[in-house]
């Protein structure tokens, strides 16, 4: 059981053994656009990658590195996805990794790469070279390095997203630190393939267990965030364990389960930031479904509601339009009976026994003007629950995506 959880204002370098940097090399019009995370020594690595059949060069490459189980650096560029660039794309991606490898004197197959940005533009390697040089020189630990790195991976995000915590559990020999950063905003949808996320920990944990922990933590966090149902070609979640702390997870069991809980908590905190900062979002929306006949039915109901453009535009309008929520639930293609269901907007019961109930519209409307709102649908048909996080659809979603030109 987790016995203490101390969140700190920090990111990927909070766990022992990590340094990071975020610099500008001119890939984006303004701001930092090149990040580096480095572990002092070779670290265990786990990773999850996009399920999209169109994949960036970094995804093909980093998947192989993760398969080796060990890594020591992650190099990330924004502003250019290096996707659909043919062999040139693969060559440029390898070159970016090689430059980091030579600079830091670590084997090239221990360097992960990640790219985000426009598809189909050749990576400007002069800028990348400059990025590597600047980032290696800027490597540091502490809040400044954490925020600069988190800023450098942003695309249409409006603020950097990073989190860190020190946890302890009665099953552990020592506290464990976990840090992380992510970027998202658009192209966010469940099924891994959701965003870039980089998580670090100072626990010592073998790669197979690390992979299992990441899979379970992502499934309960990043894979439950949806902005627009679209899924990127480049997205990945990577977890690096330096083993430089005193915590150790050597096998399945209580200590491992507690590690999964702690990792899930950190990932959930990051994931909610992705929805909160969804393109054009004015609020974070939590869609809770209870009483579904199965876990997958619960997830389908929550996801279908969370992805419905009509629900999301109603939420932007602060309108407790329960008809749209019921309509979305009704098309989720899973067992659902409106006669048995209830729907709450925040604490306000708005629908029951197949029909709307009298409720105070001003109260519900005012509630929906909050920055965080919860919709709770009880199907009352079974025992299964799920939660999906999303945001509303505003004018700015259209603006950002219509004006983000190739």
Distance CA 49, CA 306 (A): 23
Any contact of residue 107 with a copy of itself (CB under 8 A)?
Answer: no
Any contact of residue 309 with a copy of itself (CB under 8 A)?
Answer: yes
What are the residues facing 66 on neighbouring strands?
none
Shortest Å distance, C-beta 12 to a copy of itself? 27
221 binds a copy of itself (CB under 8 A): no
From 24-32, 62-70, 247-255, 309-317, span contacting a copy of itself (CB under 8 A): 309-317
CA–CA gap between residue 389 and residue 290 (Å, rounded): 15
Q: Which residue has the tokens 């799920």?
A: 386
Binding mask 62-91 for a copy of itself (x = CB under 8 A): -------------------x-xxxx--x--
Q: Interface with a copy of itself includes 172 (CB under 8 A)? A: no
CA atoms of 143 and 164, how far apart (whole Å): 10
Most distant pair of Cα atoms in the chain: their distance: 69
Pairing relationship of beta strands 111-115 and 342-345 according to DSSP bridges: unpaired
Q: How far is the CB of 186 from a copy of itself (least distance, A)?
A: 7
Among 6, 7, 31, 54, binds a copy of itself (CB under 8 A): 54
**113 or 234: CB nearest a copy of itself:** 234
Please identify, among the stretches 31-39, 97-105, 228-236, 263-271, the one whose residues bind a copy of itself according to the rule CB under 8 A: 228-236
**Exposure of 309 in the CB half-sphere (CA atoms within 13 A):** 6
Residue ranges in 128-167 that form contacts with a copy of itself under rule CB under 8 A: none
Per-residue tokens: 142: 């502490």
What DSSP character marks residue 280? Answer: T
Which residues are bridge partners to 38 per DSSP?
19, 73
Identified binder of a copy of itself from the candidate list 6, 64, 102, 399, rule CB under 8 A: 399
Question: Which CB, 35 or 329, lies closer to a copy of itself?
Answer: 329
| Gap between the Cα atoms of 364 and 265, Å rounded | 30
The nearest distance, CB 327 to a copy of itself, in angstroms, is 5
Nearer to a copy of itself, 99 or 389 (CB): 389
- CA-closest candidate to residue 178, choices 222, 217, 151: 217
Helix, strand, or coil here: 314?
A: helix
As a whole number of angstroms, the distance between CA 104 and CA 114 comes to: 18
Q: How far is the CB of 319 from a copy of itself (least distance, A)?
A: 5
Site for a copy of itself (CB under 8 A): which residue of 338, 348, 363, 367? 338
- Give 146 or 235: the residue with its C-beta nearer to a copy of itself: 235
Nearest C-alpha neighbor of 184 from the set 169, 196, 199: 196
The backbone torsions φ and ψ at residue 47, rounded to the nearest 5 degrees and listed phi first, read -155, 150
Q: Cβ 113 to a copy of itself, closest distance in Å?
A: 19
Rg from Cα positions in the chain: 22
Residue 230 touching a copy of itself (CB under 8 A):
yes
Residue 321 binds a copy of itself, judged by CB under 8 A: yes
| Among positions 323, 348, 359, 367, the unique one binding a copy of itself when judged by CB under 8 A | 323
**Active-site residue set:** 194
Local structure of 12: helix, strand or coil: coil
Q: Does 124 bind a copy of itself (CB under 8 A)?
A: no
Per rule CB under 8 A, is residue 402 in the interface with a copy of itself?
A: yes
What sign for the dihedral angle of Cα 296, 299, 303, 304?
A: positive
79 by Cβ neighbours in 10 Å (0-12 / 13-18 / 19+) ranks as buried
Residues that bind a copy of itself (CB under 8 A): 51-55, 81, 83-86, 89, 118-120, 186-187, 189, 193, 228-233, 307-310, 313-314, 316-317, 319-324, 326-331, 336-338, 351, 353-356, 393-395, 397-399, 401-406
């Amino acid at each position: 059981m987790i016995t203490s959880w101390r969140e700190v204002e920090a990111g990927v370098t909070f766990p022992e053994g990590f340094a990071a940097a975020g610099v500008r090399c001119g890939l984006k019009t303004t701001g930092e656009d090149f990040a580096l995370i480095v572990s002092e020594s070779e670290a265990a690595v786990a990773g999850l990658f996009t399920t999209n059949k169109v994949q960036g060069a970094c995804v093909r490459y980093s998947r192989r590195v993760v398969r080796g189980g060990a890594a020591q650096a992650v190099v990330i560029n924004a502003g250019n996805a290096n996707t659909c660039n043919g062999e040139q794309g693969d060559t440029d991606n390898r070159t970016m990794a090689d430059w980091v490898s030579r600079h830091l004197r670590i084997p090239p197959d221990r360097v992960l790469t990640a790219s985000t940005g426009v598809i189909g533009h050749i990576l400007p390697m002069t800028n990348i070279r400059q990025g590597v040089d600047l980032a290696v020189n800027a490597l540091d630990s502490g809040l400044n390095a954490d925020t600069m790195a988190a800023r450098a991976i942003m695309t249409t995000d409006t603020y950097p997203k990073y989190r860190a915590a020190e946890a302890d559990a009665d099953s552990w020999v020592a506290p464990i630190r976990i840090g992380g950063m992510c970027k998202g905003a658009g192209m966010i949808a469940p099924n891994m393939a959701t965003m870039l996320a980089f998580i670090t920990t100072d626990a010592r944990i073998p790669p197979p267990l690390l992979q299992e922990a990441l899979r379970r933590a992502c499934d309960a966090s990043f894979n439950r965030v949806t902005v627009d149902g679209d899924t990127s070609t480049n997205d990945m979640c990577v977890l690096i364990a330096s083993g430089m702390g005193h915590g150790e997870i050597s096998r399945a069991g209580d200590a491992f389960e507690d590690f999964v809980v702690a990792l899930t908590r950190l990932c959930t905190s990051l994931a909610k930031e992705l929805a909160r900062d969804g393109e054009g979002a004015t609020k974070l929306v939590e869609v809770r479904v209870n009483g579904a006949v199965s876990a997958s039915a619960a997830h389908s109901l929550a996801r279908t509601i969370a992805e419905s453009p009509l629900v999301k535009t109603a939420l932007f309008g602060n309108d407790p339009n329960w008809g749209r929520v019921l309509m979305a639930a009704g098309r989720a293609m899973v067992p659902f009976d409106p006669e048995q269901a209830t729907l709450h907007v925040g604490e306000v019961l708005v629908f029951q026994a197949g029909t709307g109930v009298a409720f105070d519209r001003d109260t519900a409307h005012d509630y929906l003007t909050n920055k965080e709102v919860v919709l709770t649908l009880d199907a009352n048909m079974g025992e299964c629950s799920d939660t999906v996080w999303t945001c509303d659809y505003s004018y700015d979603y259209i603006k950002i995506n219509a004006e983000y030109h190739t």
